[in-house]
């Protein structure tokens, strides 16, 4: 083994604290350097923009980020070494990704919160739109909350067993072509456009009950078509994570396969399964198009019966409000307020559902950790 290892060579070239370091002491940028550099970049870029008289936050931010990335890479390459420089560059990029993504997301959430809060109160949550005409400063979302809970609840009740059992089949039982076919077609099913799912159920309903028969159940079935593949996919991943050793441990105790699945595999995976179900729920709870087609958009009163007539849901409620938003005068203003407030309501409902799911999952896996 020679003394001229690569790191030593790299080090001596930048003339650091000498050979004694043999690559260990490398000159490093102080920890305050990156943030300071960022501030400098921001100031310089904004200054330049101001000079040319066209300051706009977005391009300024983009240029600042670019300038920062170039500067940090260059200074790191000069002071440290090329590998650190690359590391710093990637760190910068990762933070940028975060910023790039979080900014619109936060903007979205805060927009919803700020606009939504104007009409969001107990009254709004506790009344329906029954008897409310567009220009009235009245009405609320209660019926839509009920509808959303009933429809997505039904969809969950339909999809979770089917999806979970399919995942169990694929992971635990599946062999050969049928398994391949199912995994492949589940993938395909994830791509069914929501509107096509809606049209499909409408056709089904026309076959069964004649035209114009919209109700909550139809909506729930349309949502199930969208939800099932997501449940299957995520559950599949989670079941695969359960180590085989545990299955073998159960088999070795003379436990039949199905009990092994029910009592060992599923409980072990329960946290992951919950995440999957939450994602699936998230996928459908905001669906609009299929619900308009299947559950209708006429309902203004509270209807908790999924078999009986139109059922309003929060996304459709928002959609309707958005459509009325362009009305001149107060009607448009109220519609816009309702749209945002309902959006806020939906987000809060989702948050509560997520929380509940987490709690249930924690309850189901008591002795973990």
Positions in 66-85 near other proteins (CB under 8 A): 82-84
Closest CA to 172 of 308, 269, 309, 297: 269
Tell me the window of 41-49, 66-74, 117-125, 322-330 that interacts with other proteins (CB under 8 A).
322-330
Residue of the chain from 14, 111, 126, 362 that contacts other proteins (CB under 8 A)? 111
Give the nearer residue to other proteins in terms of CB position, either 307 or 328. Answer: 328
Q: Does 305 bind other proteins (CB under 8 A)?
A: no
Tell me the window of 39-47, 64-72, 119-127, 336-344 that interacts with other proteins (CB under 8 A).
336-344
Shortest reach from residue 102's CB to other proteins, in Å = 8
Q: Does 92 bind other proteins (CB under 8 A)?
A: no
Name which of residues 195 to 214 contact other proteins (CB under 8 A).
195-197, 199-200, 203-204, 206, 210-214
Distance CA 39, CA 51 (A): 18
Measure the CA angle with vertex 162, ends 161 and 167; round to 5°: 95
Residue of the chain from 74, 173, 304, 352 that contacts other proteins (CB under 8 A)? 173
Tell me which H or E stretch contains 279.
helix 266-285
Shortest reach from residue 122's CB to other proteins, in Å = 19
Residue of the chain from 194, 235, 274, 345 that contacts other proteins (CB under 8 A)? 194
Q: Does 12 bind other proteins (CB under 8 A)?
A: no
Distance CA 42, CA 213 (A): 59
Q: Does 352 bind other proteins (CB under 8 A)?
A: no
Give the nearer residue to other proteins in terms of CB position, either 42 or 325. Answer: 325
Q: Are 339 and 111 in contact (CB under 8 A)?
A: no
DSSP category for residue 220: H
Shortest reach from residue 72's CB to other proteins, in Å = 13
Tell me the window of 33-41, 66-74, 117-125, 175-183 that interacts with other proteins (CB under 8 A).
175-183
CB environment 57-87: b (16+ within 10 A), e (fewer): eeebbebbbebbbebbbebbbebbbeebbee
Residue of the chain from 122, 208, 252, 307 that contacts other proteins (CB under 8 A)? 252
Distance CA 92, CA 71 (A): 11
Shortest reach from residue 131's CB to other proteins, in Å = 5
Helix axes 216-241, 142-168, angle to 10 degrees: 40
Closest CA to 343 of 312, 317, 310: 317
Tell me which H or E stretch contains 70.
helix 57-79
Helix axes 142-168, 330-364, angle to 10 degrees: 40
Give the nearer residue to other proteins in terms of CB position, either 29 or 37. Answer: 29
Q: Does 49 bind other proteins (CB under 8 A)?
A: no
Shortest reach from residue 138's CB to other proteins, in Å = 6
Size of the site for other proteins (CB under 8 A): 172
DSSP string, 89-152: HHHHHHHHHHHHHHHHHHHHHHHHHHHHTTT-SHHHHH---TT--TTSS---SHHHHHHHHHHH
Residue of the chain from 182, 220, 312, 341 that contacts other proteins (CB under 8 A)? 182
Q: Does 289 bind other proteins (CB under 8 A)?
A: yes
Give the nearer residue to other proteins in terms of CB position, either 41 or 202. Answer: 202
Shortest reach from residue 38's CB to other proteins, in Å = 15
Distance CA 21, CA 367 (A): 50
């Amino acid at each position: 083994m020679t003394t001229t290892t690569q790191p030593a060579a790299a080090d001596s070239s930048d003339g650091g604290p000498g050979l004694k370091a043999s690559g260990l002491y490398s000159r490093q940028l102080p920890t305050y350097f990156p943030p300071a550099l960022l501030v400098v970049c921001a100031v310089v870029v904004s200054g330049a923009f101001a000079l040319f008289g066209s300051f706009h936050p977005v391009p300024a931010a983009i240029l600042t980020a670019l300038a920062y990335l170039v500067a940090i890479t260059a200074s790191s390459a000069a002071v440290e070494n090329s590998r650190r420089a690359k590391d710093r560059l990637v760190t910068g990029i990762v933070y940028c990704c975060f910023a790039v993504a979080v900014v619109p997301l936060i903007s979205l959430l805060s927009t919803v919160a700020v606009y939504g809060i104007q009409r969001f109160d107990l009254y709004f949550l506790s009344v329906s739109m029954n008897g409310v005409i567009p220009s009235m400063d009245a009405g609320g979302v209660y019926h839509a909350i009920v509808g959303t809970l009933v429809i997505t609840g039904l969809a969950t009740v339909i999809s979770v067993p089917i999806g979970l059992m399919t995942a169990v089949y694929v992971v635990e039982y599946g062999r050969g072509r049928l398994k391949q076919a199912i995994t492949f077609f589940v993938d395909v099913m994830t791509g069914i456009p929501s509107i096509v799912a809606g049209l499909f159920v409408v056709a089904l309903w026309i076959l069964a009950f004649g035209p114009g028969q919209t109700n909550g159940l139809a909506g729930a079935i349309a949502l199930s078509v969208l939800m099932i593949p997501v449940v299957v996919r995520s559950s599949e991943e989670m079941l695969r994570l359960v180590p085989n050793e545990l299955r073998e441990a159960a088999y070795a105790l003379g436990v039949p396969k199905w009990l092994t699945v029910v009592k060992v595999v599923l409980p072990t995976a329960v946290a992951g399964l919950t995440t999957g179900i939450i994602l699936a729920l998230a996928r459908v709870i905001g669906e609009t198009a299929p619900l308009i087609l299947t559950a209708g958009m006429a309902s203004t009163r509270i209807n908790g019966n999924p078999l009986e007539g139109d059922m309003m849901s929060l996304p459709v409620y928002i959609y309707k409000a958005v459509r009325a938003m362009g009305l001149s005068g107060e009607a448009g203003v109220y519609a816009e307020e309702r749209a945002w407030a309902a959006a806020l309501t939906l987000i809060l409902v989702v948050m509560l559902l997520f929380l509940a799911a987490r709690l249930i999952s924690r309850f189901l896996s008591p002795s973990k950790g």
